[in-house]
């Protein structure tokens, strides 16, 4: 929003939330026009889009709660709609923003075969850390792994791999932190799941997230290595872990949601931390935990490395996105309703 070439692009925002905070205001100031569609019927919101003469409509919600996909379904015929790097999309939404590490394997009936991907060379996202981030730090103590991903991303297969990592390092611990761990019943079930793999409750630290973002990020100072979830990788949590100078191990799969971490790490030249099998995932995590010198170097250099990477290059990222928009529009102009 901030870096768009306003001579070439006009950004109109359709806000579908009743919540207004400092982020809302920051985006409102950067937009050419701001439309609040929360509470509007789908037909009415689509009519507003038609009146605004929108050429390219970008969906940022995907299939999350309170999404407005049906508004996009009602968008005018000449309006090209696209989704931002989510693993599924309806047939009437012909474009997706992705990077080569997201969709490297063509599949019948899916995106690449229809020529409808807007591929950008770098990662599919650009990260701006929140203001007031604490400096990277690590408190002394036993080797501690951590994951701040949502509990919905955890599963039996993941717990088995994490348990194998903990079993290989008898003095290590695992810190899990997410809002839903305020529920003690859920915490008990999680402890039981690890117990089935031989990991006692004394090896686990289960915490609910704090509302204050600075305190939340400071908790990274209690872990050595962040472990990512699979098959659904973290996105925001992964960027936060990198910015707070914490390395992580992850398994990369074939689908988009299993390759987010690979896409991020590729921009930092650390793709070896995203191995191709679950056994390798565990081995990489254990090896990293045993290499104190490398952990120290990463902790010292990772934030600077990220700052100099495409992940923080907002201007360059925006130029690529604008080029992708132009490619979309050109293809539509040539092929018309076939796209």
CATH topology for 144-312? Rossmann fold (3.40.50)
* pLDDT for residue 189: 97
CA distance 72 to 92: 9
CATH 3.40.50.2000 domain residues, the chain: 144-312
What is the rounded distance in angstroms from the CA atom of residue 250 to the CA atom of residue 248?
Answer: 7
Under a CB-based contact definition with an 8 Å cutoff, are residues 97 and 124 in contact? yes
12-125+313-338 CATH fold: Rossmann fold (3.40.50)
Cα gap 238→244, rounded to integer Å: 10
Torsional class of 304: left (φ above 0), alpha (ψ -120 to 50), beta (otherwise): alpha
* pLDDT tens by residue, 295-334: 888 888 899 999 999 999 999 999 999 998 888 888 878 8
Alpha helices in 94-170 (DSSP H): 156-168
- Helix residue ranges per DSSP H, 244-313: 260-266, 278-289, 292-307
Q: Beta strand pairing status for 117-119 and 56-59?
A: unpaired
> How far, in Å, CA of 328 to CA of 322, rounded?
10
CA 113: distance to chain centroid? 25
Three-state DSSP class for residue 160: helix
* 218 class by beta-carbon count within 10 Å (0-12 exposed, 13-18 middle, 19+ buried): middle
Question: Which residues of the chain are in CATH 3.40.50.11380 domains?
Answer: 12-125+313-338
* Reported pTM: 0.84
Q: Tell me: the pLDDT tens digits for 144-191?
A: 999 999 999 999 999 999 999 999 999 999 999 999 999 999 999 999
């Amino acid at each position: 929003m901030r870096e768009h070439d306003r001579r070439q692009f006009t950004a109109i925002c359709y806000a579908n939330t009743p919540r207004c905070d400092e982020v809302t205001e920051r985006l409102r100031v950067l937009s050419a026009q701001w439309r609040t569609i929360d509470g509007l019927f789908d037909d009415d919101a689509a009519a507003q889009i038609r009146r605004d003469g929108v050429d390219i409509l970008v969906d940022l919600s995907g299939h999350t709660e309170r999404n407005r996909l049906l508004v996009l379904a009602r968008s005018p015929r000449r309006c090209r709609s696209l989704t931002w790097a989510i693993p599924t999309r309806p047939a009437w939404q012909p474009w997706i923003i992705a990077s080569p590490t997201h969709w490297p394997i063509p599949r019948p009936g899916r995106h690449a075969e229809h020529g409808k991907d807007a591929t950008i060379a770098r990662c599919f996202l650009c990260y701006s850390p929140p203001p007031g981030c604490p400096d990277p730090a690590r408190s002394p103590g036993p080797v501690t792994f951590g994951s701040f991903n949502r509990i919905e991303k955890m599963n039996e297969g993941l717990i088995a791999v994490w348990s194998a990592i903990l079993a290989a390092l008898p003095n290590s611990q695992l810190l899990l932190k997410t809002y839903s761990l305020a529920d003690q019943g859920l915490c008990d079930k999680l402890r039981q799941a690890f117990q089935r793999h031989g990991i006692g409750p004394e090896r686990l630290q289960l915490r609910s997230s704090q509302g204050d973002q600075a305190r939340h990020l400071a908790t990274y100072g209690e872990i050595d290595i962040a472990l990512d979830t699979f098959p659904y990788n973290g996105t925001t949590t992964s960027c936060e872990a990198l910015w707070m100078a914490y390395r992580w191990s992850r398994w990369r799969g074939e689908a988009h949601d299993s390759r987010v971490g690979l896409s991020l790490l590729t921009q930092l030249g650390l793709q070896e931390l995203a191995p191709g099998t679950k056994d390798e995932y565990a081995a990489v995590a254990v090896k990293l935990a045993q290499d104190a010198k490398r952990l120290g170097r990463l902790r010292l250099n990772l934030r600077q490395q990220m700052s100099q990477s495409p992940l923080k290059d907002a201007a360059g990222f925006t130029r690529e996105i604008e080029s992708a928009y132009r490619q979309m529009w050109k293809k539509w102009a040539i092929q018309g309703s076939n796209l």
